Amino acid sequence: MSTLIENLRRLNRKERFFLIGMALGKPDFGLDAAFRERLSAGFGVAVPDTAFVAMDYHLNWIYAAAALAFGTPIRGAVHDNASGAIDGTQEDVDLLVAFEDDSGLNHLIMLEAKGVTPYSNRQFEHKMSRLRTIFRENGSSRWPQTQIRPYFGLASPRNPVKLRRCLCPDWLRVNGQIPWLKMTLQGKLTVFRCDEEGRPNKESAFWTTRPG
């Protein structure tokens, strides 16, 4: 296991990750074979079944894992944050898949998922700004090209058409496009407060459900 991936494991402090792992009897998340094939095809890289997988993984943790692996790898030391790469938020990626290939290159696949709510250009722009700070414009100038390669993609029921993709750094694009994976949601209902006619009303004493 590479130093980067070991750092990613140690920095993972997401309670839901450990709770779900405990509930399913799988403390280490593993990728479904069919999904792994979709990832490999979408990002143009062979994803192994031994890849490290985490959910709701903070961008601060990603930066720290890489900086400790390729920068000044001294845990507990005080590091300069003039670039603002470590910020005061808990901004994250919904799914992180990381692995080292035979050449020693570490691949980081980050997925942003939306199911029942749309992508927001404001949120997208902020995340792109963070990724630029962490990986810079070409994805490799902060750390040696032979050590780390980041990827970023979208997962949703429909490929968003109003998302301002011009905001993203160049390294996000695969064959000129941001990778997108179709995500299927089945039989979902939304619940909301309404008036007596079923019209949305946050102040009313009634509620109902609708498909969606």
Q: Where are the domains of the chain?
A: 3-184
| DSSP reduced 3-state for 63 | helix
Is beta strand 180-182 parallel, antiparallel or unpaired with respect to 148-156? parallel
Other Cβ atoms within 10 Å of 202 Cβ, number: 7
pLDDT of residue 76: 67
Residue entry with tokens 């799988």: 26
pLDDT of residue 9: 95
List average pLDDT for each run of 10 residues in the chain, which is 212 residues long. 93 93 89 96 96 96 91 72 88 96 94 90 92 82 75 94 86 90 87 94 92 78
Per the DSSP assignment, residues forming a β-bridge with 16 are: none
